Amino acid sequence: MPTPDLCTEEEVHRLVHGFYAKVRLDPDLGPVFDAHIRDWDPHLSKMVDFWSSALRGTARFRGTPMPKHVALPGLSEALFQRWLALFGATTAALGNPAMKERADVLAHRIADSLWYGWRISRGMDVAEGLV
């Protein structure tokens, strides 16, 4: 369950901004994100709200991420695995083990859900989640 005691808003901000800095530099993920995000400031603000809601229970996030992700062309399991690897590296660097554990679990659930939804939208086999 999200709890305000898990982490601070500053830690959430560092998580989101640190993670997306890595994503934007990544040779595989960077082009995918840059092709679809025109203005990074609103995106980062929305992601801070999302992770603050998920980790701290602030309930600031409003949105439906699935339709936007389902519309993306050319996704692959490897891209989701890379996303998870960068996310895990970012949470590890924050120095808050409880936050890392909770955020990493949530990130895996999110990646599984988005990958599942993407495959369903294309009539693909969904027997297995991300490895």
- CA atoms lying within 13 Å on the CB side of residue 48: 15
Q: How far apart are CA 52 and CA 68, in angstroms?
A: 20
Tell me how far apart the alpha carbons of residues 71 and 61 are, in angstroms, rounded to a whole number: 21
pTM, whole model, 2 decimals? 0.92
**Model pLDDT, residue 88:** 98
The mean pLDDT of 37-46, rounded to a whole number, is 96
The per-residue pLDDT for range 108-131, each reduced to its tens digit, is 999 999 999 999 999 888 877 765
Q: Across all residues in the chain, what is the average pLDDT? A: 94
The per-residue pLDDT for 131 is 56
Contact 99, 55 (CB under 8 A): yes
Query: For residue range 62-108, what is the model confidence (pLDDT) as tens digits?
Result: 999 999 999 999 999 999 999 999 999 999 999 999 999 999 999 99
Query: 7 near 96, Cβ under 8 Å?
Result: yes
Distance separating alpha carbons of residues 47 and 72, to the nearest angstrom: 18
- Beta-carbon contacts of 78 under 8 Å, excluding residues fewer than 6 positions away, are 28
**Residue-wise pLDDT tens digits, 25-38:** 999 999 999 999 99
